[in-house]
Amino acid sequence: MKKAPPGQFGNRFELLVQSVTDYAIYMLDPNGTVASWNTGAERLKGYSEKEILGQNFSRFYSEEDRLAGIPSRALDITAREGRFEAEGWRIRKDGSRFWASVVIDAIRNAQGDLLGFAKVTRDLTERLEGQQALESAREAIFQTQKMEAIGKLTGGVAHDFNNLLAVIVGSLDLARQRMASGADISRYIDNAMAAAERGATLTQRMLAFARKQELKLQSVDCIALVRDMADLLKATLGTGIGIETRFPLVMTPAHADPAQLELALLNLAVNARDAMHGVGRLILEGVEVTTPSIPRGDMQAEAYIRLSVIDEGEGMDEATVARATEPFFTTKGVGKGTGLGLSMVHGFVEQCGGAMTIASEAGKGTTVSLWLPVAVQQTQSAGEAVVEAVDEAGAPLVILAVDDDDLVLTNTAGMLEDLGHTVFQASSASDALRILEQGTIDLVITDHAMPGMTGAQLADAIEEKRPGMPVIIITGFAELPAHATNRPRLDKPFKQAALARIVRTISRRLTPGPSACDQGDSGRR
């Protein structure tokens, strides 16, 4: 085999390197000084060979990177590990930037001494811009989908609440007209109250979907709960639905809110009845499972109670199952369902720390399963063991009612006055603090969501000025600041009976002695 003339291979390799125009290939000495320069480097970085030889390669980095010591750090890593790879912004001769992929290899002799570095740089600006364009397109699609979902949500809410308001407004209008002539208006008042209660239920479903409802989580005997629901299920589902239960003789309690769990099962049962068009067999099944095949990625592989509602109805295809938990999505037709049932159940179960799964096939029925954590057995505290009876009548108090909504404030004050209390009204937290300075107040009842200062913040301010002053926070939302959760709370909407109960409870905690009402009106507003 004929050997190549001395230097011939080296000349060919140098020619090859110089011919590469898509990559900047050049050599650095151990200090980072440029020792060679190919055509690709000149095209990519803008420097000619004469301009750059003998210069430090750090000039290709931005001033911020140089101040941070990134060039020298790259050479240190290469000398230590033999290779360095990175991507980042680099600077051309004209000051323009480009996104570069950089590979640096250490070059050593046979004795292992460091001779320098081989550096290869590639311009990836087009790829980066393409990725950024793709991310922008994805973000635009996401925003479009989000706005579409918000549109469906607000449209559904507006539709359902308009129906309820039509009943309320119409009934009250008729009641006002008939009252003038002395006619019986009780039917119209009942209609308005029924519509308002339906609105409250709809709001609770929305809060459940948003995982914002306040749950009273406790140990729930699911076998007993389903057994106690038997009459309700029969009356709701009708005679055409046969109900079958499949439960073990003994099952560990679940950790859930019993009232919301009962409502969730009732919702699922009604959906099952509708899917079977009022005729068929409904199966309620409960089992304790411990499985790694958990239905949600962030759930722990531990014990769960799985409650399933199984029907023999028309079932759903994959596309329908995928959308089943969307708010206001329904297959029941216009006016036959709010589309919040499954979304409410889904939100409730996840708020309990569990999950909901749906298994269905068109024409072969549907199985909806609720996975609920097993309850941790706790010893009942003495405070929980005894529930003291509350007297029907409480001592009259001087109460400060605070709400930025005049209509709500007027109603709250009217309820309290009807109960025999003296009521002062404030439309803001600042007004409330001013009234507190002017007169003697026994109790403050405040809305939470107010501009400027929330009800919880007002309660904190009152605690500083009047330590021990009882404050009841009224809210239509589940979440309060952590430090405010131990305060008495009343959820909107509320009836006079609920307001009376919480005020009586507070009045019994007040120190016995002459009430504020017996001290005269001195200093009061």
DSSP for 474-494? Answer: EESSS---GGGTTS-EEESS-
Whether 324 and 394 map to the same domain: the answer is no
Structural contact between residues 39 and 20, judged by C-beta atoms closer than 8 angstroms: yes
> What CATH number does residue 359 fall under?
3.30.565.10
Helix axes 406-418, 496-509, angle to 10 degrees: 60
45: left (phi > 0), else alpha (psi -120 to 50), else beta? Answer: alpha
Is 378 within the bounds of a domain? no
pLDDT, position 107: 92
Q: Minimal CA–CA distance to 426: which of 436, 440, 416?
A: 436
In this structure, the answer to whether residues 147 and 110 fall within a common structural domain is no
- pLDDT at residue 148, as a whole number: 67
Which residue has tokens 């085999």? 1
- The three-class DSSP label of residue 315 is coil
pLDDT of residue 208: 53
In a domain, 362, yes or no: yes
> Same domain, yes or no, for 150 and 229?
no
CA distance 445 to 438: 17
Query: Which of 373, 407, 422 lies at the terminal end of a domain, its last residue?
Result: 373
Q: Which domain holds residue 457?
A: 390-519
Residue 382: the pLDDT is 33
Task: Please count the other Cβ atoms lying within 10 Å of the Cβ belonging to residue 52.
Answer: 22
Same domain, yes or no: 439 and 362: no
The set of residues, in sequence order, having a beta carbon less than 8 Å from that of 245 and lying 6+ positions away, is: 226, 227, 283, 284, 285
Could you say which of 141, 174, 209 is where a domain stops?
209
Whether residue 222 is contained in a domain is answered as yes
Whose tokens are 């005997």? That residue is 221
Identify whether residues 307 and 324 lie together within a single domain: yes
Taking each helix axis as running N to C, give the angle between helix 230-237 and helix 258-275, from 0 to 180 degrees, rounded to the nearest 10. 30
* pLDDT in the model for residue 492: 77
Among 158, 188, 209, the domain-final residue is 209
d(CA 74, CA 105): 10
Q: How far apart are CA 100 and CA 45, in angstroms?
A: 11
Residues 275 and 144 in one domain: no
Place of tokens 């007040």: 510
Which residue bears the tokens 């007169």? 439
Q: Do 478 and 366 share a domain, yes or no?
A: no
CB 188 within 8 A of CB 178: yes
Within a 13 Å sphere around the CA of 230, how many CA atoms are in the beta-carbon half? 6
Helix (H) or strand (E) holding 231: helix 230-237
Instruction: Find the distance separating the first CA and the last CA of the chain, reported in whole Å.
Output: 115
Looking at the structure, tell me whether residues 350 and 395 fall in a common domain: no
Distance, CA of 300 to chain centre: 19
110 three-class SS: coil
- What is d(CA 162, CA 146) in angstroms, rounded to the nearest whole number? 24
The Cα 270–Cα 332 span in angstroms is: 12
In a domain, 7, yes or no: no
Q: How many domains does the chain have?
A: 4
In a domain, 318, yes or no: yes
Say how many CA atoms lie within 13 Å of 265 toward its Cβ: 29
**CA atoms lying within 13 Å on the CB side of residue 378:** 14
CATH code of the domain in which 499 resides: 3.40.50.2300
The predicted pLDDT at position 515 comes to 41
pLDDT at 509: 74
Q: Record the pTM.
A: 0.43
Residue 380 lies in a domain: no
Task: Give yes or no: residues 366 and 278 share one domain.
Answer: yes
In a domain? residue 385: no
Q: Are residues 253 and 221 in contact, defined by beta-carbon separation less than 8 angstroms?
A: yes
Pick from 219, 223, 217: which is nearest to 374 by CA? 219
Interatomic CA distance for residues 151 and 154, integer angstroms: 5
* Pair (244, 319) in one structural domain: yes
CA atoms within 13 Å, Cβ hemisphere of 56: 10
Spatial CA neighbour of 441 closest among 411, 397, 403: 397
CATH of residue 74's domain is: 3.30.450.20
Q: What is the dihedral of CA 261, 262, 268, 269, to 10 degrees?
A: 160
Cα(518)–Cα(198) distance, rounded to whole angstroms?
A: 42
pLDDT along the chain (525 residues), means of 10: 47 69 88 90 89 91 90 92 92 91 92 91 88 83 69 63 73 82 83 77 60 71 90 86 92 88 86 89 91 60 87 84 64 46 76 86 88 71 36 73 87 88 92 88 90 89 89 75 73 83 83 43 37
Q: How far is CA 351 from the centre of its chain?
A: 10
Whether residues 274 and 172 fall in one domain: no
State CA 424 to chain mean position distance.
38
- Do 176 and 318 lie in one domain? The reply is no
Instruction: Give domain status of residue 92, yes or no.
Output: yes
Confidence at residue 149, expressed as pLDDT on a 0 to 100 scale:
61
